[in-house]
């Protein structure tokens, strides 16, 4: 356990950020599963909507440094391949 006041505050701050980032990552995984489900149903409108929502969430997560920008780009590329 930290003894310095600023280190104790850092630990609290890191815990809040970790919880927030974990929530965002969990949402991304759920959106990815929703996209796969829509793809298996073969409904083009549902696939297009799920891809739009997922790509938007990827961009936001990359912008906030929750995930690496290259990872977001890779997943966006996979979405584009699904839409073809």
Q: Are 36 and 79 in contact (CB under 8 A)?
A: no
Asked if pLDDT for residue 75 goes beyond 90, the answer is yes
What pLDDT digit, counting tens, does each position of 3-28 carry? 999 999 999 999 999 999 999 999 99
pLDDT of residue 26: 98
pLDDT of residue 43: 87
Q: Which of 77, 36, 84 is nearest to 58 (CA)?
A: 77
d(C-alpha 68, C-alpha 60), whole Å: 11
Between 83 and 74, name the one with better pLDDT: 74
Those residues whose C-beta lies under 8 Å from the C-beta of residue 79, and which sit 6 or more positions away, are 35, 51, 54, 55
What pLDDT digit, counting tens, does each position of 22-70 carry? 999 999 999 999 999 999 998 899 999 999 999 999 999 999 999 999 9
Q: Which of 72, 74, 52 is nearest to 62 (CA)?
A: 72
DSSP 8-state class, residue 65: T
**pTM, whole model, 2 decimals?**
0.86
């Amino acid at each position: 356990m930290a003894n310095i006041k600023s280190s104790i505050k850092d630990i609290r701050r890191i815990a809040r950020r970790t919880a927030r980032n974990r929530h965002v990552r969990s949402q991304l995984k759920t959106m990815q599963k929703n996209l796969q489900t829509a793809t298996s149903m073969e409904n083009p409108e549902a696939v297009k909507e799920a891809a739009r929502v997922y790509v938007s969430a990827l961009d936001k997560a990359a912008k906030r440094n929750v995930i690496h920008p290259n990872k977001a780009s890779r997943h966006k590329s996979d979405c584009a391949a699904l839409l073809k």
